[in-house]
Amino acid sequence: MTKLTGLLIFGSFLQVSAGAFAQDKIKELHAENTSVKEVFKLIENSSNYRFFYNENFTDLNKTVTIDVKDKKINDILKLLINSTNVTYRVLENNLVVITPINTAQVKVTGYVTDAVTKEPLPGVTVAVEGTTIGAVTDATGKYTITAPSESSVLVFSFIGYTPQKLVVGSRQEINVKLDGDTKKLEEVVVMGYTTTTTKNLTGAAQAVSGAKLKDVTAGSMDKMLQGKVSGVFVGNSSGDPAAAPAIRIRGNGTLTAGNSPLVVVDGIIGGLPNPSDIESVTILKDAAATTLYGARAANGVMVITTKRGKAGKTQVNFRTNVGTAHLNTGHFHLMNGTELYDLQTAAGAKLDPSLRNINTNWQKLAFQNASNQNYELSTSGGNEKTKFYLGGNYYKEDGILKGTGVERFSTRLNLDHNITDKFRVTFNVAGTQTSDKDNSNGSLYQYYTNLPWDKAYDAQGKPVNPLTADNWYGRDMTNFLYDQQYNYTKNKRQSLEALVKLEYDITKWLSFSTTNRAQYYHFNQESNGDVRTSAGSDDRGNLYNYYQDTSSYISSNLLRARYTINKKHNLDGLVGAEFQQTHLNDINAKGKGIIQGVSVLDGTSAPMSIGGSKIDRAFNSYFVQANYNYDYKYYFTSSFRRDGSSKFGANQQYGNFYAFGASWAISEENFIKQIKAITNLKLRASYGTTGNAEIGDYSAIGAYAINTQYNGFPGAYQSIYNVPNLSWEKAYNSNIGIDLGLFNRINLTLELYQKDNKDLLFNVPLPGTAGYSYISQNVGSVRNKGIEISLSTDNLVGAFKWSTDFNIGFNKNRVTELYGGKDQIIDPINGYFVLRQGQDMRSFYMRKWAGVDPSNGDPLWEKLITDADGKVTGKTTTNNYNDASLQIVGSATPKFFGGMRNTFSYKNFQLSAFLAFVSGNQVYNSTRELMDNDGAYYTYNMMELDNGWSRWQKPGDNATHPLFKIKGNKNSHKPSSRFLEDGSYLRLRNVNLSYALPKAWLDRVHIGNARISIGGDNLWTLTKFSGLDPEVDDRGINSIKYPSSTKWFAGLEINF
Both 120 and 87 in one domain: the answer is no
Contact 533, 546 (CB under 8 A): no
Region 1017-1022 average pLDDT: 93
Q: Where is the domain boundary, 61, 77, 100?
A: 100
The pLDDT, as a whole number, for residue 92 is 64
For residue 569, name the pLDDT band (cuts at 50, 70, 90): very high
Region 146-166 average pLDDT: 82
For residue 514, name the pLDDT band (cuts at 50, 70, 90): very high
Task: Determine, yes or no, domain membership for 44.
Answer: yes
Q: How far apart are CA 431 and CA 433, in angstroms?
A: 7
Task: Determine, yes or no, domain membership for 460.
Answer: no
Torsions phi, psi of 1032, nearest 5?
-140, 175
Give the number of residues written for the chain.
1056
For residue 171, name the pLDDT band (cuts at 50, 70, 90): confident
The most confident of the ranges 28-32, 340-344, 639-643 is 340-344
The tally of domains found in the chain comes to 2
Both 66 and 112 in one domain: the answer is no
CA nearest neighbour of 274 among 389, 426, 427, 403: 389
pLDDT higher than threshold 50 for residue 23 = no
SS3 for 192-231 is CCCEEECCCCCCCEEEEEHHHHCCCCCCCHHHHCCCCCCC
- If DSSP codes are grouped into helix, strand and coil, which group holds residue 894? coil
pLDDT higher than threshold 60 for residue 21 = no
Region 581-607 average pLDDT: 94
How would you class 702 by CB atoms within 10 Å of its CB: exposed for 0-12, middle for 13-18, buried for 19 or more?
middle
CA nearest neighbour of 209 among 316, 304, 310, 289: 304
Segment 51-110, tens digit of pLDDT: 888 777 777 888 888 888 888 888 888 888 877 777 888 876 778 888 777 556 888 999
Both 119 and 65 in one domain: the answer is no
**Between 46 and 923, the higher pLDDT residue:** 923
- Give helix 73-80 / helix 36-46 axis angle, nearest 10°: 160
Contact 762, 776 (CB under 8 A): yes
Query: Is this structure's pTM higher than 0.85?
Result: no
Both 7 and 32 in one domain: the answer is yes
Both 94 and 160 in one domain: the answer is no
How would you class 82 by CB atoms within 10 Å of its CB: exposed for 0-12, middle for 13-18, buried for 19 or more?
exposed
End-to-end CA distance of the chain: 35
Both 114 and 50 in one domain: the answer is no
Distance of CA 96 to the CA centre of its chain: 46
Task: Determine, yes or no, domain membership for 842.
Answer: no
Average pLDDT for the chain: 87
In DSSP notation, 100-126 reads ETTPPPEEEEEEEEETTT--B-TT-EE
Q: Where is the domain boundary, 158, 178, 198?
A: 178
Q: What is the CATH number of the domain that holds 135?
A: 2.60.40.1120
The pLDDT, as a whole number, for residue 2 is 38
Task: Determine, yes or no, domain membership for 144.
Answer: yes
Distance of CA 593 to the CA centre of its chain: 46
Phi-psi region of 93 (alpha: psi -120 to 50; beta: other; left: phi over 0): left
**Between 247 and 181, the higher pLDDT residue:** 247
pLDDT higher than threshold 60 for residue 435 = yes
- If DSSP codes are grouped into helix, strand and coil, which group holds residue 999? helix
**What is the Cβ-side half-sphere exposure of residue 1019, based on CA atoms within 13 angstroms?**
14
Both 28 and 53 in one domain: the answer is yes
Q: Where is the domain boundary, 123, 154, 178?
A: 178
Strands (E), 343-474: 370-382, 386-398, 404-418, 423-438
Contact 415, 426 (CB under 8 A): yes
Segment 195-236, tens digit of pLDDT: 666 666 666 777 787 777 777 767 677 777 777 787 787 877
Both 119 and 60 in one domain: the answer is no
Both 162 and 129 in one domain: the answer is yes
Segment 681-697, tens digit of pLDDT: 999 999 999 888 888 88
Segment 602-651, tens digit of pLDDT: 999 999 999 999 999 999 999 999 999 999 899 999 999 999 999 888 89
Task: Determine, yes or no, domain membership for 895.
Answer: no
Both 114 and 136 in one domain: the answer is yes
Q: Check residue 930 and report its DSSP letter.
A: H
Both 11 and 79 in one domain: the answer is yes
For residue 191, name the pLDDT band (cuts at 50, 70, 90): low
Both 95 and 110 in one domain: the answer is no
The pLDDT, as a whole number, for residue 941 is 95
Task: Determine, yes or no, domain membership for 158.
Answer: yes
The pLDDT, as a whole number, for residue 188 is 58
The pLDDT, as a whole number, for residue 17 is 31
Contact 204, 290 (CB under 8 A): no
The pLDDT, as a whole number, for residue 57 is 78
Total Cβ atoms within 10 A of residue 487: 22
Least confident interval from 292-301, 328-337, 628-637: 292-301
Beta bridge partners of 548: 523, 586
Region 826-854 average pLDDT: 94
> Beta strand 713-720 with 703-710: parallel, antiparallel or unpaired?
antiparallel
Total Cβ atoms within 10 A of residue 214: 19
Alpha-carbon torsion angle 848, 851, 855, 857, nearest 10: 100
pLDDT higher than threshold 50 for residue 785 = yes
Task: Determine, yes or no, domain membership for 372.
Answer: no
CA nearest neighbour of 652 among 582, 728, 706: 728
Q: What is the CATH number of the domain that holds 76?
A: 3.55.50.30
Task: Determine, yes or no, domain membership for 134.
Answer: yes
The pLDDT, as a whole number, for residue 8 is 32
For residue 12, name the pLDDT band (cuts at 50, 70, 90): very low
Full domain range(s) for residue 131: 106-178
